[in-house]
Amino acid sequence: MTLPHSRRQFIKRSGAAAIATSAITFASVRARGESPNEKVVVGVMGMSRGLHLAAGFEKQANCAVKYVCDTDSGRANQGAVNIEKIKNHKPQPIADFRRILDDPEIDVLICAAPNHWHAPATIFACRAGKHVYVEKPCSHSPAESELMVAEARKHKRVVQMGNQRRSWPKIIEAIELVKAGEIGRVSYSRAWYANTRPTIGRGQLVDPPKELDYELWQGPAPRRPYRSNLTPYNWHWFWHYGGGELGNNGIHAIDLSRWGLGVDYPTRVTAAGGRYAFDDDQETPDTMMVTCDFPDKKSIFWEGLSCNRRGIEGDSFGVTFHGDKGTLVLNSSGYTRFDSTNREKAKVPGPADDTPHFANFLDCVRACGKDGPTKLSNSDIEGGHKSTMLCHLGNIAYRTGRALQCDAKTGRIKDDDEAMKLWKREYDPKFDPFKDA
Residue closest to 87 by CA, chosen among 112, 52, 51, 62: 62
Is residue 184 a contact partner of residue 326, using CB atoms and an 8 Å limit?
yes
Is residue 133 a contact partner of residue 377, using CB atoms and an 8 Å limit?
no
What is each CA distance from 217 to 2, 143, 148, 226, 426, in whole angstroms?
21, 21, 21, 11, 16
Contact residues for 4 (Cβ-Cβ < 8 A; gap 6+): 98, 124, 430, 431, 432
> What local confidence, expressed as pLDDT, does residue 266 receive?
98
> What local confidence, expressed as pLDDT, does residue 37 receive?
60
Return the sign of the alpha-carbon dihedral for residues 222, 225, 227, 231.
Answer: positive
What's the whole-model pTM score? 0.92
Q: At CA 328, angle to CA 326 and CA 333, rounded to 5?
A: 170
**SS3 (DSSP) at 430:** helix
- 194-205: string of b/e by CB count within 10 Å (b at 16+)? bbebeebeeeee
The Cα–Cα gap between 191 and 319 comes to 4
> What local confidence, expressed as pLDDT, does residue 21 receive?
31
Domain with CATH 3.40.50.720 in the chain: 22-166+356-380
The Cα–Cα gap between 437 and 429 comes to 14
Is residue 250 a contact partner of residue 302, using CB atoms and an 8 Å limit?
yes
Q: Using CB atoms within 10 A of its CB, is residue 17 exposed (0-12), middle (13-18) or buried (19+)?
A: exposed
The Cα–Cα gap between 288 and 186 comes to 24
The Cα–Cα gap between 389 and 430 comes to 26
Is residue 9 a contact partner of residue 216, using CB atoms and an 8 Å limit?
no
Strand 108-111 with 40-45, pairing: parallel
Q: For the domain 170-204+209-353+386-429, what is the CATH code?
A: 3.30.360.10
Torsion of CA 330, 336, 337, 341, to 10 degrees: -110
CATH classification (class only), 22-166+356-380: alpha beta
> What local confidence, expressed as pLDDT, does residue 16 receive?
33
> What local confidence, expressed as pLDDT, does residue 345 receive?
97
Is residue 117 a contact partner of residue 425, using CB atoms and an 8 Å limit?
no
Helical spans, DSSP H, in 300-380: 355-367
> What local confidence, expressed as pLDDT, does residue 1 receive?
46
The Cα–Cα gap between 5 and 431 comes to 8
Helical spans, DSSP H, in 44-164: 49-58, 73-87, 98-102, 115-127, 142-154
**Tens-digit pLDDT profile for the chain (437 aa)?**
445 654 434 334 433 333 333 333 333 334 434 444 689 999 999 999 999 999 999 999 999 999 999 999 999 999 999 999 999 999 999 999 999 999 999 999 999 999 999 999 999 999 999 999 999 999 999 999 999 999 999 999 999 999 999 999 999 999 999 999 999 999 999 999 999 999 999 999 999 999 999 999 999 999 999 999 999 999 999 999 999 999 999 999 999 999 999 999 999 999 999 999 999 999 999 999 999 999 999 999 999 999 999 999 999 999 999 999 999 999 999 999 999 999 999 999 999 999 999 999 999 999 998 888 987 899 999 999 999 999 999 999 999 999 999 999 999 999 999 999 999 999 999 999 999 87
Is residue 116 a contact partner of residue 220, using CB atoms and an 8 Å limit?
yes
Domain with CATH 3.30.360.10 in the chain: 170-204+209-353+386-429
